[in-house]
Amino acid sequence: MSETILRTPLHGSHVALGGKMVPFAGYDMPVQYQGIIAETLAVRNGAGMFDVSHMARLELRGERAFEFVEWITTNDVSKLGDGAGQYSLLPNDRGGCVDDIILYRVSGEPRQGRGVAQGAQLLWGGDSGPHGRNGDDRRPGPAGGQPVGRDVE
């Protein structure tokens, strides 16, 4: 049985620019273009761009959403202004990193997060619990509250 490989809206651009395409998280994604050294130098001397279209998009709301995001990520989300974004990490209980995430503050609360599949599972209680151990080490959110949200993709 073959699995359907999805394409992001930027797929055509990746192919046109010579991206070496490989399956990643269910999508046909570029792993490199001209090689690691050339790409590293291009980013260091100019700029780089990363296609986040394949990542999960989550929205958290409610009176305790801010507290939950503050508890589950490593950065101070109170520093986010309306419409601003912040790169952060989702740590495990051993100081390691389960996943990374980009948070956006909308209308006064940090409501949207974008992270890869494991981060989405972490927030929604899927196959991987908050500490990356297949759900058997799950702890509830701050003060025993469970996160409530919806997938906005």
Whether 43 and 83 share a structural domain = no
Q: How many domains does the chain have?
A: 2
Quote the domain boundaries for residue 72. 56-151
* Tens digits of residue pLDDT in 4-14: 899 999 999 99
Query: Quick check: 18 pLDDT over 90?
Result: yes
Closest C-alpha to 28, from 48, 14, 39, 45 = 14
Kindly state the average pLDDT of the residues 109-136: 42
pLDDT given for residue 121 in this prediction: 44
Whether 81 and 146 share a structural domain = yes
User: Where residue 70 sits, what CATH number does that domain have?
Assistant: 3.30.70.1400
pTM of the model: 0.55
Whether 43 and 97 share a structural domain = no
Instruction: Give dist(CA 134, CA 136) in Å, integer.
Output: 6
pLDDT given for residue 25 in this prediction: 82
Query: Quick check: 141 pLDDT over 60?
Result: no
